[in-house]
Amino acid sequence: MKTKEELRKEIRVKLESQSEAAREKKSSLIKEKLFRTQEFKKAKTIMFYVSTNFEVDTKEMINNALKNGKNVAVPYVLREEKKIVPSLIKDPENDLVKGPYGIHHPHKESYKPIPISRIDLVIVPGLAFTEEGKRLGRGAGYYDRFLKKFPEETPTIGIAFNIQVIAEIPHNGHDIAVKKLIVA
């Protein structure tokens, strides 16, 4: 079995080589599938990650969820503490700035932390997933530590392109799997 670092490099190459048109089309399909799930329909407050260039695009999902009357939280990264704090946003265009690791998060004036207990659904990023929901992150452990704080019944959904679904991922005791995976 390949190491986590070997898998990360391999998946990054696949993601970077995917055309923008394919990324947009698949992101749109994933959004449609997500918005049809019972977990999404029931959720009042949804935690999304803010996508980077080669990931499943969550920006349209965030905007559509807000238009549909959902509360949307995104990660505010506290780099020194190596942790994620969920923060509500209302206007992604104006509320977000480039944060640690080049990932957009709320700027200080838009930072509105909310308790985990208010989050009904978490959309989880990953470089790779298995069909069973095991997840390979970027390697810093932010999401594993964050997801550990949620009650078992909180739905977690990974979203990925088909090129990100692999047969096996080395699994450590601290790795947290997602409960559902949506792929296109």
Instruction: Give the model confidence (pLDDT) of 7-64 as tens digits.
Output: 999 999 999 999 999 999 999 999 999 999 999 999 999 999 999 989 999 999 999 9
Q: Is 29 a known ligand-binding residue? A: no
pLDDT at 73 > cutoff 90: yes
Outline where 91-162 has alpha helix (H). Answer: 92-95, 142-147
Is 23 annotated to bind a ligand? Reply is no
Report pLDDT for 103: 87
pTM: 0.95
139: left (phi over 0), alpha (psi -120 to 50) or beta: left
What is the CATH code of the structural domain delimited by 4-171?
3.40.50.10420
Distance CA 129, CA 111 (A): 30
Which pLDDT score, from 0 to 100, does residue 44 have? Answer: 98
Would you say 93 is a known binding-site residue?
no
Asked if residue 7 belongs to a known ligand binding site, the reply is yes
147 is in an annotated binding site: no
55 annotated to a ligand binding site: yes
55: which 2 tokens? 């990931």
Q: Is 97 annotated as a binding residue?
A: no
Please check if 81 is assigned to a binding site.
no
Cα distance between residue 20 and residue 30, in whole Å = 15
The string of pLDDT tens digits covering residues 108-156 is 888 999 999 999 999 999 999 999 999 999 888 899 999 999 999 999 9
